[in-house]
Structure 1
Amino acid sequence: MKSYPLFTNQESKTIDSLAIKELGFHEETLMGMAALSVFHANEDLWKTAESIWILCGSGGNGGDGYALAHTLFQEGYGVRCFATSPNKTDAGKFYESLVAKTLGVIGTIDDFYNEWEEAEDDSVLLVDALLGTGFQNKLSPELKELIDTVNDSDVFFYRLSLDTASGWNPYALGKGENKENSFVYADSIEELGTRKWENVGFIYEKDSIIPRYYESIGFPVRTHLNDVTFSKRYYLEADPETAISVIKRKNQDHKYSAGSALFYGGSDGMEGAILLSEQSFSKLGGGISKISSPSLKISSFVLGEDLSKMAKTSSLTETLEDPFLKKTKTLVVGPGLTQYPNDLSGWEVPEGLRLVLDAGAIPTKGNPLPQGNQILLTPHVGELNRMTGKTHNSIQEAFDTLIEYCPKNNVYVLLKSFVSLLVCPDGSSYVWESPNPKLAVMGTGDLLSGILARYLSLDLSIPESVLLALSLLDHSKQSEEPYPSAHQILKSLVELL
């Protein structure tokens, strides 16, 4: 599984301390390496600018800005530095002094406003080195005014933030603080030394995750991956080729080795949800499956489409006693159900069976969960709020809730949003950032539950199955249909195979 460690602000500080105090790095060296990494990563960008302005704060982030300004100047670019106040760190002071000698002058914020008023539209590339990831306080009126000016001005054709967008605080989302604590609307963020947990989900335009680029600067990242100093949060990278190859039928497959699953759902009038879930399983190569439903019409719906299918009207209790369940690897419960089935409360999931709870099978807070070692819940944000009795406005807030909920209930939870989050009962978690507006249609949750069942039925782990299912669904971005239905998305995925 392609995944990369994500570090919290505190963990990043610990790595910084480890590099300097234990491994003997000089802070000036690390700042210089950061500046060189950013410079080389954006060489094409610098060439587009008539002028480059760098706003430098008084901490380490400002020091990175000064180091970058020195490199840009030496490489022949027109660069100006403006400082909110003198730098307070030793390494920052070193590069601030160096820039003062080479550029001749470091402007004040008053100088910034004076030059900004005279500048032409779309003439300046702005580098934001005001505040680092450790800043969580409210902005001063002066900084708020400066950031608002940067955001609203047509002078700046591009805004690049170092490490994080200054003023950004995911824990303030939806709570009104961001109306007071403005943040830089970065066009991209250069994460230095570590991938930052607090940057996950940075968005200021609807359905648009702002690009973040990771630059290695020699930090002892691998040394830091231990249970004491690392909280096991990972960033998932798409694996589209593997997603396709894994579910392609093999020549030696028979109907059970190709994957088996049982689906329960589809209350009266909602039969389409469980049908779509099962179809996504079978049409993507599943070997054998069966639908059980409380609907009296389910057999006519299923057999009317395909006489080779199995369908039965039954209660969940009867379904859990179905001999077919003993032969299957995966059980999906929930698509098309209108309420949580009480029969699930306390049910002992048989060893070796993977249980997926979706839609109507997502419990309300207080509903007892089934018991087992391979249970995956797939709520969207509203269902997560109902499930936990808490409101969540960011991925970080959802994580804080789920990192207690999942080990306590021995379940995996996949939060479906513009950023997806999988939290595991062992305390590890995985983030998937790939907003896909083509999935914003009715039925894509049912589609996902069937795709998950397809991978789970092949004896893959839940984290592996989640990554592959999300990677496969990501192919829908290539659909020629501007607003495809869930059935059209499934058809396009089948064509890939």
Structure 2
Amino acid sequence: MPLSDLHSLPEDLYSADAVREIDRYVIDEKGVNGFDLMQAAAASVFRRLVKRWPEPGRILVLCGAGNNGGDGYLVAAAAKRHGLDVNCVAVAPVRKLSGDARLAWQKAKQDGVGIVACAGMAPDELDALFGSANLLVDAMLGTGVTGAPREPFAEMIRRCESARVPVVAVDLPSGLDATTGAAAGDVIRADMTVTFIGLKAGLFTGHGPEACGDICFESLETEPWLEGCGQQPLALRADWASVSTSLPRRPVTAHKGRFGHVLIVAGDRGFGGAGILAAEAASRAGAGLVTLATRPEYVAPALARCPSIMVQGLIHGSELPALLDVADVVVCGPGIGRSAWGQQMLEQVVASGRPRVLDADALNLMASRVAVKDDDHILTPHPGEAARLLNCEVAEIEVDRIKAADRLCQVFGGTVLLKGAGTVIASGVEVPRIVSGSNPGMATGGMGDVLSGIIGALYGQLGNPLHAASIGACLHLAAANLAARSKGFMGLLPGDVIDAVPSVLAETERKRGSLQAIESGT
């Protein structure tokens, strides 16, 4: 998603029911004509379409039976009026159209749009129709549809996938759950999604980031009525541009004691790199002091990689309390394994009562042996670890990631950061956050270790676990995106992300004027 579009999006994310209620309120309570609203939505889709593809070629619009289909018929009508080559497929029988959607179909017919019924079309006719299209518009299934798409919608979705031409989704990609981001069956993979009235949470988590492509938002001038409609957001969208303003400025009198002493407890035999990555990431994210507690054989490699940290080799958990006594925040879990060494370390960390970030095998040990509930910890599970913590299947986590994060908060307390595309951050108290954006290059070992180190550093500086997790996740993604510009996705490594963190932070400081004196030479 282009950063320019991403940063212009609202922060409030709603459920599908809430957006439908906002739509109803605007029409029934504020007297806005529903067909006028539908025309405005279609006009905004067409405007976005021709801006992205000025010469789109032959356009094929796939229309369902509801208002989403009505939007599609009006998009086709707008294209026809502008002299473009456009046709519609009535995927749902026209007889099912009613209200504004039927008016939209009539408008498209009046404007000369060719409309063919999907029912009864032979496979070779559909092949020819899709084969001649240069751009597809998905207006089949709206926010009121849940579960796996039925036929003929499922077949049309598969044909869109195999057509290998750009796809524009109207409001949301067909097959995607607008609230959860789940996809129970076939789902459209759009190049651009133009969505209306209120942002739907499902567009930003689960399958949403992959299915939506670039997300464009059109309020249709309904903003003045959002407060009065009584609908509350399901989550808040977070990105680096929005959360970086919460980072405190560093005063001229700053010293290392003011920015937290982070203790990283990590790296059993065979996993030494995990602790080193977490410790270096914590240093780069602004921690005043960083100590790494690891196996003795990893002391020298850690100092060679990052000489600014302190490293202590530990053989037994009884050696850890002395380090815990002087730490402000503890990061425990990267590479600690599930043997006696890791279990001893986790038990000491929990017994200390220190604010902590628990990741990786610390979570697996919690699921099997060390039951913990605490308001001061941050848990950072991926879906597999979340499933083990809740004793369920991964599919149950992914079917509703927001609900899963809330469940983890209820069981274990504290703040939960559920990793994945559209990372969800919940505290059980405030509205959950969803980190918008994704980076496929982060799907490699060690990225989670970097994240836990960054979050630990920010927890030590901010003292607020929800803010630390939100800012840390956004910083992690922003650094990965910056690194990917030169490294690409396939070759991206955790160390590349660590190296990019200072540049992301420096740009924020530059915008604030914090570096003005240095850069001006005064």
> TM-score w.r.t. structure 1 length?
0.83
- Which position in structure 1 is the counterpart of 2:218? 215
Secondary structure of the residue aligned to 2:32 is coil
CA contact (8 A) 1:335 1:446 kept: yes
Amino acid at match of 2:244: T
Match of 2:108 among 82, 99, 122: 99
Indicate yes or no: 2:337 matched with 1:338: yes
| Residue correspondence of structure 1 range 347-358 to structure 2 within 5 A | 347=350, 350=353, 354-358=355-359
**2:447 and 2:349 mapped to 1: Cα distance?**
29
Indicate yes or no: 2:453 matched with 1:450: yes
| Residue correspondence of structure 1 range 380-399 to structure 2 within 5 A | 380-393=382-395, 395-399=398-402
- Which position in structure 1 is the counterpart of 2:138? 128
- Which position in structure 1 is the counterpart of 2:470? 467
Match of 1:89 among 84, 93, 98: 98
CA contact (8 A) 2:283 2:309 kept: no
Pick closer, same or farther for the CA change 1:235–1:492 going to 2, 3 Å.
closer
Indicate yes or no: 2:498 matched with 1:490: yes
Pick closer, same or farther for the CA change 1:367–1:273 going to 2, 3 Å.
same
- Which position in structure 2 is the counterpart of 1:184? 188
Match of 2:156 among 136, 140, 146: 146
Match of 2:14 among 7, 29, 38: 7
**1:25 and 1:453 mapped to 2: Cα distance?**
50
**2:410 and 2:224 mapped to 1: Cα distance?**
26
**1:391 and 1:354 mapped to 2: Cα distance?**
29
CA contact (8 A) 1:407 1:427 kept: no
The answer to which of 257-266 and 477-486 deviates more is 477-486
**1:464 and 1:225 mapped to 2: Cα distance?**
29
CA RMSD of aligned residues (A): 3.7
- Which position in structure 2 is the counterpart of 1:158? 166
**2:208 and 2:237 mapped to 1: Cα distance?**
21
**2:379 and 2:189 mapped to 1: Cα distance?**
34
- Which position in structure 2 is the counterpart of 1:476? 480
Match of 2:435 among 428, 432, 435: 432
CA contact (8 A) 1:15 1:224 kept: no
CA contact (8 A) 2:205 2:423 kept: no
Match of 1:199 among 198, 203, 209: 203
Pick closer, same or farther for the CA change 1:272–1:104 going to 2, 3 Å.
closer
- Which position in structure 1 is the counterpart of 2:46? 39
The answer to which of 56-65 and 196-205 deviates more is 196-205
Deviation at 1:377, TM superposition (A): 0.7
Secondary structure of the residue aligned to 1:335 is coil
Amino acid at match of 2:105: E
Indicate yes or no: 2:261 matched with 1:253: no
Q: How many residues align?
A: 482
The answer to which of 306-315 and 266-275 deviates more is 306-315
Pick closer, same or farther for the CA change 1:435–1:122 going to 2, 3 Å.
farther
| Residue correspondence of structure 1 range 396-407 to structure 2 within 5 A | 396-407=399-410
Cα deviation code 1:464-497 (max 9, x no counterpart): 3233323333323333335243334323434665
Amino acid at match of 2:106: S
Cα deviation code 1:382-439 (max 9, x no counterpart): 2112111112236443332222220343221112223322122215222224332332
**2:64 and 2:495 mapped to 1: Cα distance?**
52
- Which position in structure 2 is the counterpart of 1:54? 61
Pick closer, same or farther for the CA change 1:277–1:50 going to 2, 3 Å.
closer
The answer to which of 112-121 and 59-68 deviates more is 112-121
**1:147 and 1:437 mapped to 2: Cα distance?**
23
**1:432 and 1:8 mapped to 2: Cα distance?**
16
**1:222 and 1:325 mapped to 2: Cα distance?**
52
**2:293 and 2:53 mapped to 1: Cα distance?**
60
Cα deviation code 1:107-139 (max 9, x no counterpart): 322697686555595643221212112112554
**Matched-pair identity in %:** 21
Pick closer, same or farther for the CA change 1:240–1:433 going to 2, 3 Å.
closer
CA contact (8 A) 2:14 2:235 kept: yes
Match of 2:380 among 375, 378, 381: 378
Uncovered stretches (5+) of structure 2, i.e. residues with no partner: 1-6, 507-522
Indicate yes or no: 2:422 matched with 1:419: yes
Amino acid at match of 2:282: F
- Which position in structure 2 is the counterpart of 1:281? 282
Amino acid at match of 2:437: S
Deviation at 1:194, TM superposition (A): 1.9
Amino acid at match of 1:88: L
Deviation at 1:45, TM superposition (A): 3.8
- Which position in structure 2 is the counterpart of 1:238? 240
Cα deviation code 1:233-272 (max 9, x no counterpart): 12222329938x9488653211111332122222234333
CA contact (8 A) 1:292 1:314 kept: no
Amino acid at match of 1:164: L
Pick closer, same or farther for the CA change 1:494–1:391 going to 2, 3 Å.
same
Pick closer, same or farther for the CA change 1:218–1:317 going to 2, 3 Å.
farther
- Which position in structure 2 is the counterpart of 1:167? 175
**2:114 and 2:273 mapped to 1: Cα distance?**
68
Amino acid at match of 1:74: R
Deviation at 1:202, TM superposition (A): 6.5
> TM-score w.r.t. structure 2 length?
0.80
The answer to which of 415-424 and 58-67 deviates more is 415-424
Secondary structure of the residue aligned to 1:198 is helix
Deviation at 1:34, TM superposition (A): 0.9
**2:462 and 2:121 mapped to 1: Cα distance?**
60
**1:481 and 1:147 mapped to 2: Cα distance?**
33
**1:82 and 1:216 mapped to 2: Cα distance?**
27
CA contact (8 A) 1:66 1:96 kept: yes
Deviation at 1:299, TM superposition (A): 4.9
Pick closer, same or farther for the CA change 1:459–1:225 going to 2, 3 Å.
farther
**2:181 and 2:435 mapped to 1: Cα distance?**
21
Secondary structure of the residue aligned to 1:372 is coil
Deviation at 1:36, TM superposition (A): 2.0
CA contact (8 A) 1:260 1:328 kept: yes
Uncovered stretches (5+) of structure 1, i.e. residues with no partner: none
**1:117 and 1:303 mapped to 2: Cα distance?**
62
The answer to which of 1-10 and 209-218 deviates more is 1-10
**2:499 and 2:118 mapped to 1: Cα distance?**
57
